Amino acid sequence: MADSIEQAVARRRTFAIIAHPDAGKTTLTEKLLLFGGAIQLAGEVKAKKDKIQTRSDWMKIERERGISVVTSVMTFEYGDNVFNLLDTPGHEDFADDTYRTLSAVDSAVMVIDAAKGIEPRTLKLFEVCRLRDIPIVTFVNKMDREARNTFEILDEIEEKLALDTAPITWPIGQGKTFSGTYHLAQNAIRHGDAETERTKVNGPDSNRVAGLLPENERETFIEEMELAREACRPFDLDAFREGHLTPVFFGSALRNFGVRDLIEALGDWAPPPRAQEADSRTVEATEPAMSAFVFKIQANMDPNHRDRIAFVRVCSGELKRGMKAKLVRTGKPMSLSAPQFFFARSRITADEAYAGDVVGIPNHGTLRIGDTLTEGEEFLFRGVPNFAPEILRRVRLGDPMKAKKLKDALQQMAEEGVVQLFSPEDGSPAIVGVVGALQIDVLRERLNIEYGLPVEFEMARFSVCRWISADTKAELERFVESHRGDIARDLDNDPVFLAPHEFGLNYEADRWKQIRFAAIKDYQ
Ligand code: G4P
């Protein structure tokens, strides 16, 4: 029998993995899918991994389309739960895409390399999660290699992230002697990579545990466990759900150790789909009417069809194939005739999807990032962020006859979130903005290949961009009037102020206290 909406919502866990490159995100993803039965053989995700090292690498990967796509959302089941794992691009030049994806998850797994601890990108991604109070489960990976002392790792998480830790398991051995995990509260162990159930033991000093450790490590293990029991915090579900405490697991994704511990924790503790804030009210996940928002758009998933897939997170109700939805931005109805689910390697037609599920909706440019779909009600979801670009360029077109085509192409790519597009108030040519340099290369490549528009990019006289607002329209108008040469409009016609440098921005911000200069804008 099909689930009721309440049952379907309660079963779902939608999460992302955050990690510094090389910590083991790809390997862990692959193992989660393997344990969830979504892929037959380990190595399939790895083979598709977009290890973007250089610009030319990226181009090649982009040409081999379909790669980043299949890994952008993965669904698998384990026990009673349905897991939606949302992948995030590895390269920091695509950070805005990552941040938008994090707006669509309810929890995150933070993977840490046991020898390296908290690395810069982990920290940055963690900060984004903290802004949204996303609960974090920590997986300390690569315990099969030389690792830091377990207490040191916990201390570092507490200090660098200002986050309480509660170790749930403790590594039995380390490096070459790493042979399993000990569950502190349950007094039970999991040994080896194949064990589905934990085995109860009498304590850290039991013969069963001793048998897993070389003689010279047994005493240290017992002492460490005693200390851990005394000194470490116990797990507290509320503190975890509020984002103040992280349960910590130890393992080796490569050798499958600790992976089951992690999946079970997500099933037991990670929150089911949350209530979603909209402009006029909060939408509960179990409400009967369907609602969803677009957080990512992927073009050219299938080069033969030139389709565009909008990834929507369902927020309430039941998204059914063939249903009519309302696109709130335009007020127009939209038929969801072919929504799709994505698995490790394939996509299938989605007959129904519930809150927390991510569904791909093929369309030809109707949907934009940040769009809200409902069954008719007028509200707009908030919280899909738009970041002020750090690189601004003017596009130079070899053939002036193609100006209109260029305008349309840029508009489309701005709607996909590849670039941001700003039209200066003084009528000068459009300015494109990106967060990372690689995005400029992707834009050049796509304009050339897809639209037959060879372009070059010129430095703009600006390098800083901020959305501007004020309490009253008149105040904003006064600022716009006196800075007309430095004002442009974004895709939604919202005004931005462009400055040649930070100093210029700060100077104006000091003089115009009534104007707000924002580096982040919610799509709406
Ligand atoms: P990433 O997606 O976070 O960038 O990391 P990825 O999974 O690709 O892992 C980075 C490297 O670390 C890989 O080695 C991978 O095999 C290794 N690795 C991942 N988890 C573990 C683990 O638990 N233990 C050990 N010892 N190694 C681990 P590589 O040499 O870069 O790739 P490959 O040649 O092994 O495929």
Q: What is the pLDDT of residues 372-387, one digit of tens each?
A: 999 999 999 987 888 8
User: Is pLDDT of 224 > 70?
Assistant: yes
**Cross-strand pairs, 497:** 466, 487
- Whether residue 260 is found in the same domain as residue 288: no
Averaged pLDDT score across all residues of the chain: 87
Q: Which of 238, 269, 300 is the last residue of a domain?
A: 269
Going along 117-198, which residue ranges are E strands?
Answer: 136-141, 164-167, 169-172, 180-183, 188-191
pTM for the full model?
0.86
pLDDT bracket for residue 451 (50, 70, 90):
confident
Q: Which of 246, 269, 292 is the last residue of a domain?
A: 269
User: Is pLDDT of 140 > 90?
Assistant: yes
Nearest CA to ligand 1 atom 22: 142
Residue 348 lies in a domain: yes
Distances (CA, A) of 256 to 30, 190, 313, 364, 473: 10, 11, 30, 42, 59
CB 468 within 8 A of CB 483: no
User: Is pLDDT of 133 > 50?
Assistant: yes
Tokens representing residue 122 in the block: 């982990």
Residue 59 lies in a domain: yes
Q: What is the pLDDT of residue 90?
A: 60
Residue 383 lies in a domain: no
Residue 92 lies in a domain: no
Ligand 1 within 6 A of CB of 21: yes
Task: Please state the rounded mean pLDDT for residues 463-484.
Answer: 95
DSSP 232: S
pLDDT in tens, 239-288: 999 999 999 999 999 999 999 999 999 999 999 999 999 999 999 999 99
Nearest CA to ligand 1 atom 15: 24
- Whether residue 59 is found in the same domain as residue 157: yes
Residue 90 lies in a domain: no
Query: CA 49, CA 68: separation in Å to the nearest integer?
Result: 8
- Whether residue 262 is found in the same domain as residue 292: no
Q: How many domains does the chain have?
A: 3
The larger pLDDT score, comparing residue 58 to residue 168, is at: 168
Ligand 1 within 6 A of CB of 174: no
CATH number at residue 516: 3.30.70.3280
- Whether residue 228 is found in the same domain as residue 293: no
Q: What is the pLDDT of residue 303?
A: 56
Query: CA 281, CA 382: separation in Å to the nearest integer?
Result: 11
The range of the structural domain enclosing residue 255 comes to 5-68+108-269
- Whether residue 200 is found in the same domain as residue 307: no
- Whether residue 343 is found in the same domain as residue 395: no
CA of 285 to the centre of ligand 1 (A): 37
Residue 122 lies in a domain: yes
Phi, psi dihedrals of residue 502, rounded to the nearest 5°: -55, -40
Phi, psi dihedrals of residue 49, rounded to the nearest 5°: -60, 135
Q: What is the pLDDT of residue 265?
A: 96
Query: CA 310, CA 368: separation in Å to the nearest integer?
Result: 8
- Whether residue 120 is found in the same domain as residue 171: yes
User: Is pLDDT of 108 > 70?
Assistant: yes
Hey, how many other C-beta atoms are within 10 angstroms of the C-beta on 400? 7
- Whether residue 512 is found in the same domain as residue 405: yes
Ligand 1 within 6 A of CB of 26: yes
Q: What is the DSSP string of 29-87?
A: HHHHHHHTTS-SSTTHHHHT-----SHHHHHHHHHT-SHHHHTTEEEEEETTEEEEEEP
- Whether residue 265 is found in the same domain as residue 281: no
Query: CA 336, CA 307: separation in Å to the nearest integer?
Result: 15
Strands 391-397 and 358-363: unpaired
Query: CA 106, CA 97: separation in Å to the nearest integer?
Result: 17
Q: What is the DSSP string of 293-328?
A: EEEEEEE-SSTTTT-EEEEEEEEESEEETT-EEEET
**Which residue, 213, 165, 220, is CA-closest to 189?**
213
**Cross-strand pairs, 499:** 464
CATH number at residue 357: 3.40.50.300
Residue 77 lies in a domain: no
pLDDT in tens, 310-320: 899 999 999 98
Residue 133: strand, helix, or coil: coil
Cα R_g (the chain), whole angstroms? 25
User: Is pLDDT of 185 > 90?
Assistant: yes
- Which H or E run includes 159? helix 150-161
- Whether residue 432 is found in the same domain as residue 447: yes
pLDDT in tens, 309-360: 889 999 999 998 889 999 999 999 999 887 776 654 455 556 678 999 998 8
Q: Which of 269, 288, 304 is the last residue of a domain?
A: 269
pLDDT bracket for residue 41 (50, 70, 90):
very low
Strands 136-141 and 107-113: parallel
Tokens representing residue 463 in the block: 């390098």
User: Is pLDDT of 65 > 90?
Assistant: no
- Whether residue 318 is found in the same domain as residue 406: no
- Whether residue 314 is found in the same domain as residue 444: no
Q: What is the pLDDT of residue 193?
A: 67
Q: What is the pLDDT of residue 509?
A: 96
Ligand 1 within 6 A of CB of 25: yes
Q: What is the pLDDT of residue 300?
A: 66
Query: CA 488, CA 166: separation in Å to the nearest integer?
Result: 49
- Which H or E run includes 522? strand 520-522
Q: What is the pLDDT of residue 268?
A: 97
What ipTM was estimated for this complex? 0.97
Task: Please state the rounded mean pLDDT for residues 508-518.
Answer: 95
pLDDT bracket for residue 301 (50, 70, 90):
low
Residue 96 lies in a domain: no
Q: Residue for token digits 């309302």?
A: 326
Query: CA 259, CA 282: separation in Å to the nearest integer?
Result: 35
Ligand 1 within 6 A of CB of 144: yes
CA of 318 to the centre of ligand 1 (A): 39
**Which residue, 347, 270, 284, is CA-closest to 316?**
284
Q: What is the pLDDT of residue 417?
A: 84
Ligand 1 within 6 A of CB of 29: no
CA of 355 to the centre of ligand 1 (A): 33
Q: Which residues are annotated as a binding site for GTP?
A: 87-91, 141-144
